[in-house]
Structures are given as C-alpha cells and as structure tokens.
Amino acid sequence: MRNLSRILVLATTRSRAVCIRRYIQSTTTPALGEKKTITPKLVNEDTKQVYISTPIYYVNGAPHIGHLYTGIMADVTSRFYRSQGYDVEFATGTDEHGFKVQQQALKDIQSDKALATTTDPAGEGMADSNKILAFCDLHSNQFKKLCQVANIQYTKFNRTTSKDHFAKVQKFWNLIKENGFIYMGKHSGFYSVTDECFYTETDEKHITKIDSTDQNEHQQYIYTCPNTKTASKVEFFSEENYKFKLGLFKNKIKEYLFFKNNNVLVPPSRSNMLSSFLFKNIQNIPTDQHQVDDLSVSRPSSRVGWGIPVPGDASQTVYVWLDALANYLAPAHGKDSGNIDRIPDIQLMGKEIIKFHSIYWPAFLMAASDKYKLPQKIVVHGHFTNNGTKMSKSLGNVVDPFSQIEKYGSDALRYYLVKCGSFGSDNDYLESNIPLFYNKDLADHLGNLLSRSTSSKLAVDYSSLPLINNECVNNGATPADSRDSAIHTSLLSLPNRVSSCYADFDFALAAKTVLEHLAITNKYFSDNKPWILTRSDPTRLNTVIFYCLESIRICSILLYPIIPNKSTEILDIYYNHTKPADYYFWSGSALGSFFTSADSINRFKLGKIPILFNKL
C-alpha cells in the first residue's frame, strides 16, 4: 500500500486513475463468472445482522424492468443472508420529492382526465401540493404491488413524503450544518431536471448547445453522460443556495473506497465511473480551496417547492438527493449500536446513480458524525437494453414487468433476470429467452429429475433411505461404491461453491453451478438405469434414488434465493407441508442431513407428485 501511495503522488492525474484501477483489479475477487476458489467473507459474521437496501425509486413514471431487476437482486441477497441464519433488514421505497416529480405530476394531472379525477375526486380544486401527493400515492402503490407480485420480501418500505422521513431529513441536515459543513453561497452551473443535479466543470465538455430556445427564450443544452451514454436536457442557472463542503472529503472517500482494500465497489471495475471526481486534484485540498468541488444542497423553494424545507429557512428546499439518501437512516439496532442510526451494510443499485451513493452519501455521513458506519458493499449493476438501445418511455421500448410476470410467473422472470443480468455490463432483454431458459434449465433438469426419481413404477423401498443415509455420512468423502463417486463428491462441495457465488454477488454463476450439478445427477440417473435396477438389484436402486433425492433437495435449497416459489413447492414434498421455519437454511443443504431417521420417511410425501414445472 505504501508503494501504491508513492506512485500516486508522482503520477499524472490520468495515470493515477489507471494505477488505482489496476491495483483494485489485482487485489479483488475474481471477475464475475469466474470459478471461485476461496469462500468470501460475509458481512457482519460476528453479529449475524445485515441491513440491505435498494435505491428508492422516482414516482414520476410507472415501474419498469430495471426497477424489478434491482429489487430482485436485493431480494436474492436478502434471502441468501437469511439462509445463513442472519437477522435481515431489507429496505426499499419511493422517492417522491423534487422538481422532476412536481413537474410530471402536474403535467399528467392536467392532461389525463381519469388521473385528475383520481387525485381530486370531489372536483373541489385541491391545492397543487395535495394533488401531487395523491399522484405520489398512486405511483408508490405501484412499486409496492410490483414487489408483491415479484415475491420481493422487503421488511421496510420508505416514502420520502412520510412524516418520519421529514423529521429524519431535518435532523440529518442539522447534524451536518452544526458540524460546519454547510454554508450559504452562490452557485452557477448547468442543471439537469432528469438527473436532479448540477454538473461540474469537468462535465461541461459533455454539454452541447441545441439550435433552439424554449418558450421563455432560454438557450437549450444537452448533456451526454460518458458512462451511461444517455442524454438529458440541461439549463444554466445562477442562484443563491446552501452548499456542502464536499471537497474536504475527497481524500477520505478515496481511502474508504480503495486504500483500505475493503473491496467496497462490486464489481471493482465500477471505480472507472468515479475517476473524473476522485482522481482530479488528488493531493490534499487546502481548506480555502474546497469550494472547487463543493455541492449545492438546496434549491430556491420558488423554483422547487415540492420537497422538505431547509430547517430555519423556508425560502430553500433540501436538495432531492440529500433528502433521498437520508431515507437509508434506520433506527439503532442491537445493544452495541450506541443509539446511532443504522446504515445499510449492502446497497444495490443501477450504474446511473453510483456517484450519489459512492461519493455524496459517504461524505454526508462523515460530515454528520464520525460514529456512522459506512456501507460495506456498494453493488452496481448494468442496464437492460432493448435491441441494444436503452429503454425509455420516449422511444416506446420500455418493458412492463407486470405483464411479463402475469405471462410467465415470477419465478421464471426472476430466473431469467438472474441468469442474463450482469453487474459488469449492460445486457439485451430478450423475452423469448424467458420460456427457453425456464424450460431447458428448470423444467428439463430439475422438474424432470424430480418426476423420474419419485415415480411409483420404480418401487423404491423408502424405509431403507435412513440406513443408506447413515452409511453415506459415515463414509465421508469416499462412497462405498465407486459408481457414486462423482455425484457424492459434487454434493459434498456444492453448498460451499454456491455460497461463494452468492456472497460475491455472482448470482448467475450460483445458478450455473447448481445446474452443472443437476446435469451430473441426470447423467447419474441415466447411467444407473433405475428402471432396470427395480427388477435386477433393488438394493442398488435405493442407493441411486437416495442420491437423486438428495440432489433435488439440496439444489432446491440452493436455488431458493432465486426461485423461492418452486423451491418451496419441492421442499414441501420432503416435509409434507409441515416444514420447519428454517427449511431453506443453508445448514440443511449438507449431504445426509435429511433422511436421518424413520421420522424423515414419514414426513416425505409419497405417492404421485404433481408436475411442478409446466412448460412455458
């Protein structure tokens, strides 16, 4: 680390960014999709408590497939940690303040008679603020509904229009201001309504004029993001507002993200998206020059009235991102919390908001109190595109998640998004692959194996399974019959291999690893020909079915974070609908941990098993 620091001092600004990125890539976990050789450490292994969050979503439009993807990735993380015996808090919600919401709400209410009637049912000419709140209620409920139909099991749904949030933001603002990090100043720059932020001098090279003016004869400009390649209109403003001394925290943020080898960013390559801020002026910034990188944290209420007033100054509204980020502050939890608000340990989000969560959010927390624990993992995923083009309402290529779930079911869509999504890159959304992957991977591999292994035609002696189970456990790593070696060895290591993938947020590789074992099991079934063994060697038949049933059970537990409905249906067969609360816990995924006694056979649901994976 000392050598790295010396290199950074001597290097140019551009080469510093290259050095730090290469350093990160050389000291972090393998790239997503690679084989994992070491089980990564889970967060908070000492307390077995974890707080996971998604961003809160803007209510200026209906939920889209990107919102669903983020929610499912967070839900997979949450279910995995619960399966490890953790006490999990999982928060999501809606971001309902800011000029963008204010503008969209009034526009939609004015142009849509049905919406106008819904937001003002009595036709009494409700105040704009009440209409906007009614608009927010409608859209916030859509996000709640999406979580419900997609089986996303959050523990807390936050809304920035709630009274609790109002008090939370004002308290957070006062902490930062009392510590001397907020001051009144003049701010000039290009502002994007779409992104709810001012752009810096570094960003101005990506801003171009449009040969037109708006109805107020303002010159129009376009900002094209170099990372996401998206374009948005910007307007030049010069106004008095409150500013946050962000520049003072630049070095602390670099230390937090990189120099302590915390591997905070997942995947590490996402550090490239932060280089324009973090690797500019890398030397310590003198106190009297911090204004170069300071952040405007309020807006004149005359321009942005839909928000939370700055404490003690109603002429200003709290910047929507400071407002939104404060939603993550949760009540203190545990005896060692010291009564300080709890911060998410793991935060999942799309790449377009990495700056706000990796730079602004840690800086706000550092400014408010040195007792705050910073997020341990910031997990950033790419976008889903449509035929290579970013989805947008204006292009009419947005995928409606509700219709997709209604058509294919939540598990099929969850499986597709996990298998095809990526934290490292953008991916094209191909609806035709949803039934393809579901049928090929789940129906053919898992569902067909279940049907064949539980067929009454095989005449399996289930009462013999506890004896076979005990022999299997006693034999350790080497089974008595060499024909069982491949499946036995794979089952012994499978939970750890899959756990490693989940802990590394490589959910696609977790699914792939399970499918590889199911392929081994299906080959094992075919090679041993149980339909012949039922007549020629019933004892061998029982052993073969034991290993197949264990594979199905264990794989169902390991896939539970991804396809919870189908996994639960399969495990119901083993527990005959009397499964314990911890039926999906990882501790139950060990080979030989189920058929331990006659009681397990009594629980096991015998007879004809229904088809659980109907082809799509």
Asked whether residue 418 carries a pLDDT value surpassing 50, the answer given is yes
- Burial, 615: exposed, middle or buried (Cβ in 10 Å; 0-12, 13-18, 19+)? exposed
Query: Which of 354, 386, 404 finishes a domain?
Result: 404
pTM of the model: 0.86
Could you read off the pLDDT of 79-114 as tens digits, one per residue?
Answer: 999 999 999 999 999 999 988 888 888 888 776 655
The stretch 363-390 carries a mean pLDDT of: 92
pLDDT on residue 284:
41
Packing angle of the helix pair 13-27, 2-10 (nearest 10 deg): 160
What is the SS3 string spanning 254-319? HHHHHHCCCCCEECHHHHHHHHHHHCCCCCCCCHHHHHHHCEECEEECCCCCCCCEECCEEEEEEC
pLDDT digits (tens, 9 = 90+) for 537-567: 999 999 999 999 999 999 999 999 999 999 9
Query: What is the per-residue pLDDT for 10?
Result: 40
> Which of 514, 554, 528 lies closest to 452 in space, CA to CA?
528
Exposure on the CB side of residue 88, measured as CA atoms within 13 A:
22
Count other C-beta atoms under 10 Å from residue 398's C-beta. 17
- Biggest CA–CA distance in the chain, Å, is 90
Residues 332 and 198 in one domain: yes
- 358 and 506, same structural domain? no
More confident: 445 or 395? 445
What secondary structure, in 3-state letters, does 204-268 show?
Answer: HHHEEEEEEECCCCCEEEEEECCCCCCEEEEEEEEEEEEEECHHHHHHHHHHHHHHCCCCCEECH
Beta-sheet pairing, 313-318 with 377-381: unpaired
Give the per-residue pLDDT at 4: 44
pLDDT at residue 480 in the model: 87
Tell me how far CA of residue 338 lies from CA of 345, 372, 373, in angstroms.
Answer: 17, 10, 12
Confidence of residue 279 (pLDDT cuts 50, 70, 90): low
Same domain, 364 and 452: no
Is residue 36 exposed (0-12), middle (13-18) or buried (19+ Cβ within 10 Å)? buried
- For residue 29, pLDDT over 50 is answered with no
Token pair, residue 484, equals 């069982």
Q: What is the pLDDT of residue 76?
A: 98
Across residues 579-601, what is the average pLDDT? 89
Q: Has residue 574 been placed in a domain?
A: yes
Question: What does the pLDDT average to over 187-192?
Answer: 67
The pLDDT confidence band at residue 400, using thresholds 50, 70 and 90, is very high
Does 429 map to a domain? no
Residue 290 has pLDDT above 50, yes or no: no
> Are 88 and 210 part of one and the same domain?
yes
Q: Is the pLDDT of residue 450 over 60?
A: yes
Kindly state the tokens that stand for 297.
């944290």
* Residue 163, pLDDT score: 95
Work out the average pLDDT over 13-31.
48
Phi–psi pair at 143, nearest 5 degrees: -70, -35
For the record, the structure tokens of 566 come out as 């189908």
Integer-rounded Cα radius of gyration of the chain: 27
> Do 369 and 517 have their domain in common?
no
* pLDDT higher than 50, residue 289: no
Does residue 202 lie in a domain region?
Answer: yes
Residue type, 141: N
Indicate the residue among 379, 404, 429 that finishes a domain.
Answer: 404
- The pLDDT assigned to 396 comes to 76
- 366, 443: one domain: no
Decide: 356 and 389 in contact? Cβ < 8 Å.
no
* CB-count exposure of residue 87 (10 Å: 0-12, 13-18, 19+): middle
**Does residue 300 sit in the same domain as residue 197?**
yes
Give the best-scoring range by mean pLDDT among 85-99, 238-252, 332-346.
Answer: 85-99
Taking 60 as the threshold, does the pLDDT of residue 14 lie above it? no
Average pLDDT over residues 265-294: 65
Phi-psi category of residue 44: left, alpha or beta, with phi > 0 → left and psi -120 to 50 → alpha? left
**pLDDT above 90 for 171:** yes
User: For residue 363, what are the domain limits?
Assistant: 31-245+294-404
Same domain, 123 and 220: yes
Question: Per-residue pLDDT tens for 38-76?
Answer: 556 899 999 999 999 999 999 988 999 999 999 999 999
Give mean pLDDT, residues 508-522.
97
Residue 533, pLDDT score: 97
Exposed/middle/buried for 91, CB within 10 Å: 0-12, 13-18, 19+?
Answer: buried
What residues does 158 pair with on adjacent strands? 93
pLDDT of residue 11: 44
What pLDDT does residue 31 have?
A: 47
What 3-state class would DSSP assign to 12?
coil
pLDDT at 372 over 80: yes
> Can you give the pLDDT at residue 222?
62
Is the domain of 400 the same as that of 443? no
Is the domain of 445 the same as that of 384?
no
Based on the fold, state whether residues 213 and 337 are members of the same structural domain.
yes
The Cα-based distances of 159 to 109, 285, 503 in angstroms read 21, 37, 29
Average pLDDT over residues 127-131: 81
Whether 23 maps to a domain, the answer reads no
The CATH number of residue 300's host domain is: 3.40.50.620
Region 342-369: mean pLDDT is 95
* pLDDT classification of 445: cutoffs 50, 70, 90: very high
Give pLDDT, residue 585. Answer: 93
Position 473 scores a pLDDT of: 85
**Residue 552, both tokens:** 């199905």
What CATH number did the domain enclosing 542 receive? Answer: 1.10.730.10
pLDDT value of residue 287 = 43
pLDDT value at residue 12: 45
The proportion of the chain whose per-residue pLDDT surpasses 70, expressed as a percent, equals 77
Instruction: Indicate whether 477 belongs to any domain.
Output: yes
Residue 201's pLDDT is what? 52
Query: What helix, strand, coil percent values describe the chain, rounded to 5?
Result: 50, 15, 35
Residue 206 is predicted with a pLDDT of: 61
In this structure, are 64 and 166 located in the same domain? yes
What pLDDT band is residue 387 in, cutting at 50, 70 and 90?
A: confident
Does residue 425 lie in a domain region? no
Q: Does the pLDDT of residue 243 top 80, yes or no?
A: yes
Residue where a domain stops, chosen among 347, 382, 404: 404
What local confidence, expressed as pLDDT, does residue 5 receive?
A: 43
Exposure class string for 240-249: b at 16+ Cβ within 10 A, else e: ebbbbbbbbb
* Crossing angle of helices 410-420 and 507-528, rounded to 10°: 110
Which tokens in the block code for residue 256? Answer: 């937090």
- Is the pLDDT score of 190 beyond 80? no
- Least confident piece of the model among 105-114, 214-223, 294-303, 425-434: 214-223
| Strand residues in 14-71 grouped as ranges (E) | 49-53, 57-58
Q: Which pLDDT score, from 0 to 100, does residue 100 have?
A: 85
Tell me the pLDDT tens digit for each residue of 135-168: 999 999 999 999 999 999 999 999 999 999 999 9
pLDDT for position 6? 42
Residue 24 lies in a domain: no
Q: Is 120 a residue whose pLDDT tops 60?
A: no
Q: Which of 325-334, 366-375, 389-398 has the lowest mean pLDDT?
A: 389-398
Residue 82 counted as domain residue: yes
Range 306-325 average pLDDT: 96
Phi/psi region, residue 289 (left: phi>0; alpha: psi -120 to 50; beta: rest), is alpha
Domain count, the chain: 2
